[in-house]
Structure 1
Amino acid sequence: MKKSIFISVMIVFILNTLFSSAIPQNRKIITLKNNNACYSKSAKLDRKNQEDNTNADTTPKIIASIPEEKIYLYALNEQDGWYKGIVLSINGVNKFFDWKAVTFPGWNTLHYLDLNNDNKKELVVMLTQNKGTGMFRNTVHIINPENFSEYKVKDALDIVYDNIDIRILSKKEMEIMINDTIYNAKILKSTRPSEIEKTFFHNFIEYYIEDNKLKAKVGIEVQFLSYIGNIIIDYEFKDDEFKIDKIAFEGNPKVTVTTLQVK
């Protein structure tokens, strides 16, 4: 018992020391009740990187913030282009999350709004996982700021696999069937993509906020890093989860798209 009390005290001391240089002035660190496991995990992560990865920067860094709401997102470790080990701070209360994100400035964002129509604001954390020419992937975490619990969000790629069927008609034409709608997409001459080889969905997946709603865009790739268009997903909060509300296909501007309703 004495040993566990001593370990808990030391963890709190380490984190208070760790964040003293990164937390804005006049902000008090308040540990969450029953959250020792989270702090213990972050402390172990930091020690491991100090011992095993000499090129790691373990100085806490603010990677996103909403200062007027006293909301800050800190990375405990920066190494090889990644932030690893994330601490979310809301009004001085902190919790560790085993998240990671790329270190591109400005590509990890926070949004504070009422997404589930309960007249209370949720915190939306969007972390970029991949970014390059023709590719982009991020993740979304929706947090209840009152207790730091995370709402479930149906994975956009799972929604695509569950709701669409694709039929390649030729090297220039394909059909995307979504529920009762068939989208016929034809590639114009001298454009990119030049032809349809096969379909991929993994290189462009973007969650974003539009008109105070959570949405996602999944690119339909028909050649490497070349897209015929995007699947657009609108989310709604239902049965304690953010899941599909609407889904549609949006063609590349240089692709002609016609639709047919299936009765």
Structure 2
Amino acid sequence: MRLFTKFTLFFSILLMLILIPLETYAAEKGFYKIVTNENTKEEILVGSLPEANVKLYATERTGLLENFRLHLSSGDKYLPFWFNVSNRSYWPSLFYKDINQDGKKELIFVLTTGYGNDTVKQNVHVFHEIKTDLGNAYEETLVDNPMAIILKNVKTNLTKSEAIITLGNKKTVIKIDELGVDPKHLFPDIAIGNITEFEILDNKLTANMGASVSPAGGYLGDFHITYTFKDKMYQVEKIEFIPNK
């Protein structure tokens, strides 16, 4: 019995001597982190919709809001892949509107993922109210990517003298010299998407995408996309190009 006890003690000490260096190595190499209360980031309220009893929380680190949690009356949704810039001027925008005309209001969240000189990048998330065995809940619904809509519906051509945008049967021609842009500074083609913004207009989900031909002074105008709910997703209902004036 004593021999067994000594053997057990010896084995335990040997195992500790092996594991401690391995744990130290793993921690140093970043294979895992031990989270303590000091390192736990406090959630902050970044948006709310009192009418829908909805609150949106996130944690903040340098430049970003992340680790989103959506508080609903039916329970919480954790959204680890959402992120938003931490600048309060660009915090998430929340809407509670009936954008598919079914008589029930949807939850719409617009996140700003980047901004700068002549640049704003946003994406949108739409939740529909559904019935479940446990009561009403919200489920996210797909929104077609506005860039995919542009690529499927728009043709562009850029020369030293003209920017040409063809949308369906309508062609818009903009003279480069009227923009005051040096032809040496032109992009290889018309650039679309430096500005991507979402908003709700007349209870319709819309997206605006800017078009330009040079890094500075080459702004041409905006593509305005209106969405409709069809085939269980939000897809293009109408698209038009509005030249800068």
Q: TM-score, normalised by structure 2?
A: 0.74
Helix, strand or coil: the match of 1:201?
strand
Higher RCO (CA 8 Å, separation ≥ 6 residues)? 1
- Please list the CA deviations of residues 132-170 of structure 1 after superposition, one character each: whole Å capped at 9, or x if unmatched: 221001110001244231111000011111110012243
Match of 2:100?
Answer: 116
What is the CA deviation profile of residues 12-51 of structure 1, one whole-angstrom value per residue up to 9, with x for unaligned ones?
Answer: xxxxxxxxxxxxxxxxxxxxxxxxxxxxxxxxxxxx9985
Return the alpha-carbon distance in structure 1 between the equivalents of residues 149 and 99 of structure 2.
19
Structure 1 contact 193–222 (Cα < 8 Å) conserved: no
Q: Please report how far the alpha carbon of residue 181 of structure 1 lies from its aligned counterpart in structure 2 after TM superposition.
A: 1.1
Distance 1:194 1:223 in 2: 9
For residues 213 and 161 of structure 1, the distance between their equivalents in structure 2, rounded to whole angstroms, comes to: 22
Which of 11, 34, 47 pairs up with 1:64?
47
CA distance in 2, matches of 1:180, 1:55: 62
Measure, in 1, the Cα distance between the counterparts of 2:49 and 2:233. Answer: 25
Alignment check: 8 A CA contact 1:195 1:223 kept: no
1:219 to 210, 213, 217: 210
Return the letter of the residue paired with 1:155: N
Instruction: Determine the C-alpha separation between the residues in 1 that align with 2:175 and 2:63.
Output: 39
For residues 20-169 of structure 1, what are the structure 2 equivalents within 5 Å?
A: 51=34, 58-75=41-58, 77-91=59-73, 93-98=75-80, 99-107=82-90, 108-145=92-129, 146-169=136-159
Distance in 2 between the 1:124 and 1:208 partners? 9
Please state whether the residue corresponding to 1:153 is helix, strand or coil: coil
CA RMSD of aligned residues (A): 2.8
Q: Secondary structure at the match of 2:70?
A: strand
The code of the aligned residue for 2:63 comes to G
Structure 2: which 5+ residue stretches go unaligned? 1-30, 130-135
| Counterpart residue type for residue 46 of structure 2 | I
Corresponding position of 1:205: 196
Matched, 1:231 2:213: no
**1:15 paired residue number:** none
Question: Structure 1: which 5+ runs fail to align?
Answer: 1-47, 254-263
d(CA) in 2 for partners of 1:219, 1:49: 42
Aligned residues: 204
Is 1:72–1:88's contact at 8 Å kept on the other side of the alignment? yes
Report the 3-state secondary structure (helix = DSSP H, G, I; strand = E; otherwise coil) of the residue aligned with 2:149. helix
Deviation at 1:190, TM superposition (A): 6.4
| Residue identity matched to 1:214 | L
Query: The residue matched to 2:142 in structure 1 has which SS?
Result: strand
TM-aligned CA distance change 1:210 to 1:53, over 3 Å: farther
C-alpha contact (below 8 Å) 1:57/1:78 kept by paired residues: no
Asked if structure 2 preserves the Cα contact closer than 8 Å seen for 1:195 and 1:222, the reply is: no
SS of the residue 2:42 aligns to: coil
Tell me the TM-score normalised to structure 1 length: 0.70
CA deviation profile, 1:151-201 (whole Å, cap 9, x unmatched): 110000111111100122433x22111112111222454646888713222
Mapped partners of 1:130, 1:64: distance in 2: 18
Counterpart code for 2:197:
E
- Higher mean C-alpha deviation, range 237-246 or range 179-188: 179-188
**In the alignment, is the contact (CA less than 8 A) between 2:160 and 2:176 conserved in 1?**
no
1:73 alignment partner AA:
L
Structure-2 change in CA distance of 1:247 and 1:196 (3 Å): farther
Distance 2:163 2:38 in 1: 48
